[in-house]
Amino acid sequence: MTTTQLDLNLILPGHPLENDACVSRINDTLAQRRGVEKAHFKKTNGKAELCVHYDPDLLSLDAIKRVAKEAGAEVRERYRHETLRLSGLHCADCATSIEGVTQRLEGVLAVSANYAAEKMSVTYDRRKVGRAQIVKEVESLGYQVKETDAEADKDEHARKVLGLSLGLFLSLSAGTALLIGWLGETFFSLPFAGALIFYVIAYITGGYDASKHAVRAALKGRFDIDSLMVVAALGAASLGEWPEGALLLFLFSLGHALEHYAMDRARNAIRALADLTPKTARLRRNGVEQELPVSELRIGDTVIVRPGERIPADGEVVEGSSAVDQAPITGESIPVEKNVGDTVFAGTINGDGSLIFRSTKNPEDSTLSRVIEMVEQAQTAKSPTQRFTDRFQRYFTPVILITTVLLIALPPLFGVPFDKSFIRAMTLLVAASPCALGLATPSAVLSGIARAARSGVLIKGGVHLENAGMAQVVVFDKTGTLTAGKPKVTDLWTVQDSQSSDELLALAAAVEAKSAHPLAKAIVQAAEEKGLKLPDTGDLEAYNGKGVIAPVASKVVRIGNSGFMSEAGVFVSEAAMQQLRQLESQGKTSVFVSYGDELVGIIAMRDEAREAARSTIAALKNLGVRHTVMLTGDNSLVAEAIGTELGLDEIRAELLPEDKLLAIKELKERYDKIIMIGDGVNDAPAMVESTVGIAMGGAGTDVALETADIALMADDLSKLPYAISLSRASRRMIVQNLAISLGVIAFLVPSAIFGLVGISIAIVFHEGSTLVVVANALRLLGFKGRESAGARPGKPVTVQVDTAN
């Protein structure tokens, strides 16, 4: 049997990189072919793939690719994944109603609605149901599905303001009518018939919105929170408890109006990202300047940005220089100097200079557009805690409904007055309504993701937000993460006195000129700075983790470690080894250079630790991180020197990429949840294997945006403690919200069953807990994080070496 991997993005372009019904259908189609043993989904190095095990004697690779593409085309034609923007949702139960009603449509395969994000993800079979039918079903409940263009957003904002104003007006009208009726009846001898008029007004104004939604839900066979409140209020009225019912509807309507206002604050923090890009751009086409909508920008366009303007697209500066405020994208507090050849990002703000740049991405592919898209996807993804609360409610709600029926029916059989048992049952319905529980997690996740995005930290979902907050171990890549990733040549040592250091450098640079490795670039740069003439070379051969070879003149030049030299039969003297150890003890990475079968010298380089590295590690320990680890392919002496300098707890050196992957698996077994931070390219396998993979420099690296669970948009290591502390704060908010919501339910349910609280007390606790939960979550929008100053020093370094070479 032979195995091949097919890129899912080529088979299903634009499809979410996840295993779902569409992917399963393609796998099933492949598995039915003669010669295919099995086909399954696989995610490696941040790439989603279909792994096919087949017999090459029965089926060719070309045939497999053809079948996969045909199956992919059929799936794309038949199935749709869509995210719909919703409007008019006024409680967490609204999302549950939408899911329940939409799921019943034939052809709808999966649906997930999120009240906090006002979004709905749906997967459906176009042969059985259409988008228009799904939209019609949602709107039949009284909600709206809106478009995504700017005009729709503008209209939606106006509708929200109007809706909030109307909701508050109706609620306050209900409260005023209730107060007049109660005061008149209690203190001014107003006849009950007169007071009843005001109570009825309170019922109509306070219950208008809830009744509208309750009736629509009932027609669809749904019994939601609105139905519950209306039934409870009507039940109270039927027993003559008009003030109780009016108070219930007044507090319920007021609570929802305030809750909706509070949730909009978190939503607006994310919507504000879309307003960062200007609507028009000033272009130079065919020598003529013109202003066009940003949507008409094309790759290669010459864009002119004047002082103080927002940059409309991603591109490369071709003329001018200026300081650019990149805080909207990367969270950097200090403007970044931009000169010819530098990259600029859409949504950032130009400083005092003028810039002319060449557009390198289409508007929809800009870094900002991708960040917005990923944040929107993150909002709809449910975290582990949210899935737990969903399961809890799925079992809890039927139990409460059954208990309510029994509470109405059984007590009268034992002599309890019917009106008393009915009121207790209505109170139980109010008390057990899990509105606060439904909002406990999504409100905190929404606020946490919004705050992170505003600070240059992209978190791709609630699961990563929670896991990063629970991880106690942080694993670092060395090169480009703990160090600047820009090594410089520090020493040139030649075996023979007759050979000059320049000759050694020129020989090595000639070979390394064809390599993209950071060490190779350092050697080439050193030769260029000296103006050395490089000899001609043949094709380069690279041996991962060991070294490179290329022919020069009549002999082969080898550059690599001692193991690489030994394998080739190149003799390395004790003097050379001693010189190597001396250089590496100084934290310098050193490579041997041989010409033919003879060693000719050693080149030493040093990649300096980032300025923020030590303070970052100290800040992590202040946050309570138990263990910090560095994984590197560098030798143990260099690793130990860097690790000692930075205060790391554990160092694993001389690792090949596959060794890093094994190290992550072992650390996960020991510590459960771990964070791995790297550059998102070379470390992709290890990052994917870790609980949470964090990539640095996401604004400039497409791979980092794709592979990482969290991306630090700036190339700034000091953002790491902030990201972790924000995740922990979000986790604390979630736990606090769950404690509040479950605590209120635990108190109210038995109190209602035994008649210790009335409807008015139950609704005060119910609405109060919901508002407290939302207000608590909103505190994340102002989260500042911890400073790294004053951190305690790290523990002694433990060096652990894998002798992979």
What does the alpha-carbon distance between residue 541 and residue 556 come to, in Å, rounded to a whole number?
A: 11
H-helix segments, 497-561? 501-512, 518-530
HEC string of 407-420? HHHHHHHCCCCHHH
**Cβ neighbours for 692, distance < 8 A, ≥ 6 positions apart:** 464, 467, 468, 471, 673, 674, 675, 676, 709, 710
Structural contact between residues 627 and 508, judged by C-beta atoms closer than 8 angstroms: no
Q: CA quadruple 447, 448, 449, 451: dihedral positive or negative?
A: positive
Closest C-alpha among 346, 345, 372, 349 to residue 450: 372
Number of CB atoms found within 10 A of residue 203's CB: 25
Between CA 514 and CA 535 the distance in angstroms is 13
Report the C-alpha gap between 653 and 630 in whole angstroms.
8
| 787 closest CA partner among 650, 612, 643, 649 | 612
Please give the DSSP secondary-structure letter assigned to residue 486. Answer: -
Strands of 20-77, DSSP E: 36-44, 47-54
Distance CA 752, CA 758 (A): 7
> Are the C-beta atoms of 691 and 476 separated by less than 8 Å?
no
Q: Which of 149, 80, 88 is nearest to 113 (CA)?
A: 88
What counts of helices (H) and strands (E) characterise the chain?
A: 26, 30
Active-site hit among 301, 477, 659, 683: 477
**662's tokens:** 């094994």
Looking up tokens 């006002």 gives 118
Instruction: Kindly write down the DSSP assignment for every residue of 99-162, as one continuous string.
Output: HHHHHTSTTEEEEEEETTTTEEEEEEETTT--HHHHHHHHHTTT-EEE--SHHHHHHHHHHHHH
Concatenating the DSSP letter of every residue in 299-353 gives: TT-EEEE-TTPBP-S-EEEEEE-EEEE-HHHH--SS-EEE-TT-EE-TT-EE-SS
CA nearest 318: which of 294, 301, 297?
A: 301
Coil, helix or strand for 88? Answer: coil
Task: Decide: residue 391, CB within 10 A, 0-12 exposed, 13-18 middle, 19+ buried.
Answer: exposed
Cβ atoms within 10 Å of 796's Cβ, excluding its own = 9
**Structure tokens belonging to residue 159:** 């509708």
Q: Whole-angstrom Cα distance, residue 217 to residue 73?
A: 38
For residue 286, is it left (φ>0), alpha (ψ between -120 and 50) or beta?
A: left
477 is known as an active-site residue: yes
State how far the Cα of 88 lies from the Cα of 106, in Å rounded to an integer: 25
Of 365, 388, 566, 366, the C-alpha closest to 462 is 388
What's the CA gap between 471 and 451, in Å, rounded?
A: 20
Q: Which residues contact 669 (CB under 8 A, 6 or more apart)?
A: none
Tokens 């994917």, residue located: 688
From the list 413, 323, 313, 321, the residue with the least C-alpha distance to 367 is: 313
* DSSP symbol at 781: G
**What residues are annotated to the active site?**
477
